[in-house]
Amino acid sequence: MSCSNYLSITDILVSHEKVPCKFFYDLPKMGFLDPSAVDDDLKAGTNTEIPLWLAESLHSRRPPLLSVDLPKIYKDAYREILNADACTVDLYKLGQHFYELGCYVAKYDIKGDVTNTLINVSNINY
C-alpha cells in the first residue's frame, strides 16, 4: 500500500514523521541519529526513532541496514481501542496524519492488522 505523492505537502510532512527502528549493523559516523548515543558511531542493535524517509531508504538497501517497527499508535493496544469504538477516538490527537502514516507503515506490518484497522476506522469516521 503506497501513498507517496511528490508534490503533496501532507506527504512531505508524513515522510518526516519519526518511526522506531532497530539497526542491524554498525554505522560509522552516524551516532547523531541516536540522541542518547555518546559515540560517533551507531552500534548494531541500537533502537531509535528516525524520520520515515530515512528509514525507508535504509530498509530498502540490500541487505537492509535496519528494521522498521510500527509506531505506538498502530500497535495492538491502540488497534483494540480503535476496533472497539473508533467513533469516540480523536484521531487527530493520535497523529495529525493518522491515515497517511498508516499507509506507509502498513508494509512493515507482517500480519496486515494496520491495513484492516485503517479500513475499519475510515468506514466509521466518514
Task: Report whether pLDDT(1) > 50.
Answer: no
- 8 A C-beta contact, residue 92 and residue 54: no
State which residues form the domain around 93.
Answer: 72-125
Whether residues 76 and 102 fall in one domain: yes
Per the listing, cell 498502530 goes with 74
116 in any annotated domain: yes
Whether residues 60 and 76 fall in one domain: no
Whether residues 91 and 53 fall in one domain: no
Question: What is the number of domains present in the chain?
Answer: 2
Task: Report whether pLDDT(107) > 50.
Answer: yes
- Residues 38-92: tens digit of each pLDDT: 889 999 999 999 999 999 999 999 999 999 999 998 888 888 888 777 777 888 8
Whether residues 26 and 64 fall in one domain: yes
Residue 123 Cα distances to 11, 37, 79, 116, angstroms: 22, 43, 15, 11
10 in any annotated domain: no
Q: b vs e for 31-51, b when ≥16 Cβ sit within 10 Å of the residue's Cβ? A: bebbeeeeeeebeeebebbbe
Higher pLDDT, 68 or 117: 68
- 8 A C-beta contact, residue 14 and residue 97: yes
Whether residues 117 and 76 fall in one domain: yes
Whether residues 81 and 63 fall in one domain: no
Structure confidence at residue 93 as a pLDDT band (50, 70, 90): confident
